[in-house]
Structure 1
Amino acid sequence: MFGLLVFACSAVLVTLSLIVLPIVHYLRDAKGLRKYPQLSIWSGISDIPFIIEAHRGFRSRRLNELHKEYPVVRIGPNSLSYASHRAIKDIYGFNSTCTKDDMYDVLSGTHRHLADVTDKKEHARKRKTLSSAYAIKNLENWEYKVARMTERMIEAFDRRCTEPLKMRESPRMEDLNVEFWSWANYFTVSAIANIGLSEELGFLEKENDLITSERPDGTTKTVSFKECLDATLWVDSNLVWSYKWYHTAVRLADLFSATYRRKLQHKRDWDGIVWNRATARLKRHQRGEQLDDFFTALMHDKGGNPNHLEWGEIVAEISIMMNAGSDTTAIALNNVIYFLLKNPRCLATLRREVDANLDENDVVAPYDKVKHLPYLRACLDESLRIMPPNSFGLPRRTPPEGAMILGEWVPGNTTVSISTFVAHRDPVVFPNPEQFIPERWLGEAGKELQPYFIAFSAGSRGCIGRNISYLEQYVALASLLHRFEFALPSEHWQPTRREYFTCSPGPMPLKIWRREEASEHDSPQNSVG
């Protein structure tokens, strides 16, 4: 009898929390948000419609369709999505009064890293500590690490070269032997591990991403780096949108869903990967090894003075470095190769620029020779515009007193955001937004677009690792295009995409051959397949 009473009381409390009170709050409309069009008829009452949209795999595409008609859309009881480029400075600009949203508190661990710390003073302290490590001058000293990984990728691709593709010929299935999305990940993870931890993961040599994960009890297992990272992103990006219920939702999913149970195990394995890498590097530090890497910059400043960071904080910074420092750049490399192959005129223009600045014996493009090439940068930025790796709307919270956004007062403690995918399709700023047009970034016209280019976010919370990403993209892309020809499976082939917080592509099988081995049939048109 007592058990039945407890169950009945629990059912009443759940009904009140999930249904009755949300409906009451919606009808009261204390913040005046009911005036905005909604993602779903239920979005003013519950975050569940947005969670459902997340499970469908491409939230930002759905938002983009809605924003073609509405500049502001209500995507949750306390959450607004914006589309206009004019809202960027209001939400993300240096003078914005908006702060990081509660989402970052929900997903953070025991210690915060630079990307999830919400307190502005704490963020300023962290950024000051890490700025020297991420400074472009420091990164250029680490160029050799990127060059070494690029060389290993080229060696692997050399072994996979096939006969040149003839005009208007489609590749044979057996010749599609470079799955570029996997190789982009091998490259970027290997590069960031070497830059950050002076570690040789061997992914490019092994041709897989198997790595050690260490459990809290000290036991270890071999896991897939990308599988564990993707599982972490999958779980968090599906369930986090109802902040108050996130941890409960995770526990329930673990109990009742075999898929979530498997993903959550991989999520724990991801934590084990980070722990194993961090402790291995710490042991080298304690042995007195003098290594020039990101870890050393975390331990002490340029003058050798200790930074006195807690170990948990160091582990957190290594985690975000291994996560965002690999995934986003791999996505960017994969996407720019795809867009260039789909746009042979742009590919030919870029090749002429790269060839004119590299010597015949430059196997790996020296950074000094390519870092100022305008069309190379234009191609990278145009790819980042059309398909930004961080596609979702980074959520911000209005201050308690409220804030003006798009000339309209938004009540305090309201979540506001602009999906990068959506912002980069504002036709007022980017005419013909779905077309790959690198020329839009050239000259003075290109400079005028920069305030509306938010692939690396904007303002004081802009991505501190953008210089690393550009360094890797410059060197890898120029090197690959200088040496190889590529072909997609067919003229109309398109990749699948799944939006987590990043927008991750599916496999991209390519045919590859050496440019100097190409016959008279070799031309940019053949790169389309």
Structure 2
Amino acid sequence: MFYIPLLALTALFLITYLILIPVIDYFRDPKGLRKFPNMNAFSGITNLGFMWEAHRGFRSAKLYEMHKKYSVIRIGPNSLSYGDLNAIKDIYGHSSKCIKDDFYKALAGTHYHLADVVDKPEHARKRKVLSAAYALKNLEGWEHKVADKTVRFIRGCDAHCTSPLPAGQSKPDTKDLSLDYRAWANYFTLDAIADIGLSERLGFLDQGNDKVFGERMDGTIHEIPSYRACLHGTAMVQSRIAWATDWYLFNSKYTSWVVPAFRRMWRLNEGWNDIVYHRASKRLRRYRAGEELDDFFQTLMEDKNGVPNNLEWGEIVAEVSIMMNAGSDTTAIAMNNAMYNLLRNPAILTKLREELDAVLDPEEVIAPYDKIKHLPYLRACLDESLRITPPTTFGLPRRTPPSGAPVLGDYIAGNTTVSMSAWVAHRDATVFPDPESYSPDRWLGDKGKELQPFFIAFSAGARGCIGRNISYLEQTVLLASVLHRYEFAMERPDLEQARWETLNCMPGPLNLKVWRRDLTAEMGEEA
């Protein structure tokens, strides 16, 4: 008899908490956010509106269309998205009073890593520890590791080589589209970051797949069929429910119990945790055995004078996790996008090859970094690809301080989430004319320098990506090496590669035909 009143009270509570109070707050408008247009009909009342957009697969594309009309859009009851590039310094700049949003706390594990730590003094401590590992001077010491992975990538390309595409033909035979450049770029970055960070050879480039071992907390070792599936499954499931930060833990458990598709992704997340734990545990055993290795892990354990940093084990595992995640996937996406954009624009590809061929000898297999690091058109091609197809598209959320802060000249009340999508920012036609055009020339000379404050592929300010130098090293060496050695062709010249948005903008497969260039003949013709 008591269950009927109990159910009624429960229903009343849920209706009041989930519907009545949000609606009342919307009209009461204590923070003055109702003046901003909503992303959809529910955005001002509940975060379910933005979660729906995330579920649809490409929320930044919708934001872009809306930001053509509105500088500020309300994407949640307490969240604003900005489309005016002048907001970058207010939200992300060195002088900004905004801090990382509670979004990062929701996604954090038992210990924070550099990317999700919110507290500024704690972030400064972490960055001081890690900055030595990512310093520009270390690139020369790690170039041989990148070169090694490039050699292995090229072996893979050689194994997939076909006969040249007949003159005048633009569409290859489908059976020749045997190299998935998207997957192989990811094998490259995973192998590279494991070597740079942990002095471990994953061997994905040698295997031609990403089978890997993981380790559970009880020490059980087991094989995981796909590293990438675990990494991307984790990103997918988190990106769909993370926007309701207060409900994240509840939603994660609810979806894992009730929704079969989510249950599969949460199992992949368990695999990801096992992959990271195994990597960190193996490297710790080597450290305890007395091995002194020139890698990221060594920097975590002790400073340059050999003084222990005395980090907790959970913090070490967290830093290994973000290194193996963000330190691989965004660079792999950037590599894929650069190749895709160049193949879609053959005149630009020809101009870039001319620059590369002018400094690289015909017999050089791996492009020496010292020869190519200052090539202006190569860097312009990479930056233009990062502009038009940024790997991380979602608006990195920040939170105004309790006292509030000015953004674009408006006072925004305290503890309000503010953000800007790189996909949106990089399409502002007032700064980037003809924004949908892949135009590397815009980055050359003084006009290119003027664009840098509006380029947020690596975020900006004190929380900007600490690994950008390593990313450029990997992108530069691999792209220069493969373009110097090979020709590539997509299924068709105007191919639209599939993309969906998690926390990154994930491209689908990029199946290419690959064949060797005849450099001797080409240079003979030029002579």
* Same-fold status (TM-score > 0.5): yes
Identity of aligned residues (%): 58
Query: Which residue in the other structure is 1:500 paired with?
Result: 502
1:471-518 deviations in whole A, cap 9, x for unaligned? 000100000000000000012211100111110100010000000189
Query: Which residue in the other structure is 2:263 paired with?
Result: 261
User: Pairwise mapping of residues 174-253 of structure 1 onto structure 2 (< 5 A)?
Assistant: 174-223=175-224, 224-253=226-255
Query: Which residue in the other structure is 1:5 paired with?
Result: 5
Equivalent of residue 397 in structure 2, options 395, 398, 403: 395
Taking the aligned partners of 1:398 and 1:518, their CA distance within structure 2 comes to 60
Q: Which amino acid aligns with 1:173?
A: T
Taking the aligned partners of 1:502 and 1:140, their CA distance within structure 2 comes to 29
Instruction: Say whether the 8 Å CA contact 1:164–1:518 is kept in structure 2.
Output: no
Query: Which residue in the other structure is 1:283 paired with?
Result: 285
Query: How much does 1:220 deviate?
Result: 2.6
Equivalent of residue 303 in structure 1, options 289, 302, 305: 305
Query: Which residue in the other structure is 2:117 paired with?
Result: 117
User: Pairwise mapping of residues 88-127 of structure 1 onto structure 2 (< 5 A)?
Assistant: 88-127=88-127
Taking the aligned partners of 1:172 and 1:372, their CA distance within structure 2 comes to 37
Q: Which amino acid aligns with 2:343?
A: L
Matched residue of 1:80: which SS? strand
User: Pairwise mapping of residues 344-383 of structure 1 onto structure 2 (< 5 A)?
Assistant: 344-383=346-385
Matched residue of 2:15: which SS? helix
Instruction: Say whether the 8 Å CA contact 2:362–2:520 is kept in structure 1.
Output: no
Taking the aligned partners of 2:362 and 2:333, their CA distance within structure 1 comes to 29
Instruction: Say whether the 8 Å CA contact 1:164–1:517 is kept in structure 2.
Output: no
Given the two structures, how large is their TM-score scaled by the length of structure 1? 0.97
Instruction: Say whether the 8 Å CA contact 2:343–2:493 is kept in structure 1.
Output: no
Query: Which residue in the other structure is 2:67 paired with?
Result: 67
Matched residue of 1:33: which SS? coil
Matched residue of 2:466: which SS? coil
Q: Which amino acid aligns with 1:217?
A: D
Instruction: Say whether the 8 Å CA contact 2:162–2:514 is kept in structure 1.
Output: yes
Query: How much does 1:119 deviate?
Result: 0.4
Taking the aligned partners of 2:414 and 2:223, their CA distance within structure 1 comes to 47
1:37 maps onto 2:37 in alignment: yes
Given the two structures, how large is their TM-score scaled by the length of structure 2? 0.97
Structure 2: state its 5+ residue gaps. Answer: none
Instruction: Say whether the 8 Å CA contact 1:299–1:308 is kept in structure 2.
Output: yes
Q: Which amino acid aligns with 1:412?
A: G
Query: How much does 1:168 deviate?
Result: 3.4
Q: CA 1:216/1:7 → structure 2, altered by over 3 Å: closer, same or farther?
A: farther
Query: How much does 1:309 deviate?
Result: 1.1
Query: How much does 1:429 deviate?
Result: 0.6
1:124-146 deviations in whole A, cap 9, x for unaligned? 11101100000011122011001
Instruction: Say whether the 8 Å CA contact 2:356–2:372 is kept in structure 1.
Output: yes
Matched residue of 1:85: which SS? coil
Q: CA 1:216/1:4 → structure 2, altered by over 3 Å: closer, same or farther?
A: farther
Matched residue of 2:62: which SS? helix
Q: Which amino acid aligns with 2:274?
A: G
Q: Which amino acid aligns with 1:118?
A: V
Query: How much does 1:256 deviate?
Result: 1.3
Query: How much does 1:358 deviate?
Result: 1.1
Taking the aligned partners of 2:340 and 2:175, their CA distance within structure 1 comes to 20
Query: How much does 1:519 deviate?
Result: 8.2
Instruction: Say whether the 8 Å CA contact 2:44–2:76 is kept in structure 1.
Output: yes
Matched residue of 1:49: which SS? helix
Matched residue of 2:395: which SS? coil
Taking the aligned partners of 2:303 and 2:362, their CA distance within structure 1 comes to 41
Instruction: Say whether the 8 Å CA contact 1:164–1:519 is kept in structure 2.
Output: no
How many aligned residue pairs are there? 521
Instruction: Say whether the 8 Å CA contact 1:100–1:397 is kept in structure 2.
Output: yes
Taking the aligned partners of 1:125 and 1:477, their CA distance within structure 2 comes to 35
Instruction: Say whether the 8 Å CA contact 2:47–2:77 is kept in structure 1.
Output: yes
Instruction: Say whether the 8 Å CA contact 2:426–2:454 is kept in structure 1.
Output: yes
Query: Which residue in the other structure is 2:131 paired with?
Result: 131
Query: Which residue in the other structure is 1:423 paired with?
Result: 425
1:154 maps onto 2:162 in alignment: no
- Runs of 4+ with deviation above 4 angstroms: 517-520
Matched residue of 1:35: which SS? coil
Taking the aligned partners of 1:48 and 1:391, their CA distance within structure 2 comes to 20
Q: Which amino acid aligns with 1:60?
A: S
Equivalent of residue 319 in structure 1, options 312, 318, 321: 321
Query: Which residue in the other structure is 2:54 paired with?
Result: 54
Taking the aligned partners of 2:493 and 2:478, their CA distance within structure 1 comes to 24
Matched residue of 1:142: which SS? helix
Query: Which residue in the other structure is 1:526 paired with?
Result: none
Taking the aligned partners of 1:323 and 1:488, their CA distance within structure 2 comes to 28
Q: Which amino acid aligns with 1:327?
A: D
Taking the aligned partners of 1:168 and 1:316, their CA distance within structure 2 comes to 52
Matched residue of 1:498: which SS? strand
1:424-474 deviations in whole A, cap 9, x for unaligned? 001111000000000000000000000000000000000000011000001
1:328-351 deviations in whole A, cap 9, x for unaligned? 000000000000001111101110
Taking the aligned partners of 1:310 and 1:294, their CA distance within structure 2 comes to 16
Taking the aligned partners of 2:409 and 2:13, their CA distance within structure 1 comes to 40
Query: How much does 1:3 deviate?
Result: 3.3
Q: Which amino acid aligns with 2:51?
A: I
Q: CA 1:3/1:139 → structure 2, altered by over 3 Å: closer, same or farther?
A: farther
Q: CA 1:166/1:518 → structure 2, altered by over 3 Å: closer, same or farther?
A: farther
Query: Which residue in the other structure is 1:83 paired with?
Result: 83
Taking the aligned partners of 2:520 and 2:55, their CA distance within structure 1 comes to 45
Matched residue of 2:213: which SS? strand
Taking the aligned partners of 1:37 and 1:168, their CA distance within structure 2 comes to 51
Query: Which residue in the other structure is 2:145 paired with?
Result: 145
Taking the aligned partners of 1:422 and 1:235, their CA distance within structure 2 comes to 23
Taking the aligned partners of 1:242 and 1:428, their CA distance within structure 2 comes to 34
1:275-321 deviations in whole A, cap 9, x for unaligned? 01000110111111121111011111111111111111111000000
Query: Which residue in the other structure is 1:173 paired with?
Result: 174
Taking the aligned partners of 1:290 and 1:46, their CA distance within structure 2 comes to 52
Instruction: Say whether the 8 Å CA contact 1:353–1:375 is kept in structure 2.
Output: yes
Q: Which amino acid aligns with 1:310?
A: E
Taking the aligned partners of 1:131 and 1:494, their CA distance within structure 2 comes to 38
Query: Which residue in the other structure is 1:385 paired with?
Result: 387
Taking the aligned partners of 1:113 and 1:144, their CA distance within structure 2 comes to 27
Query: How much does 1:2 deviate?
Result: 3.0
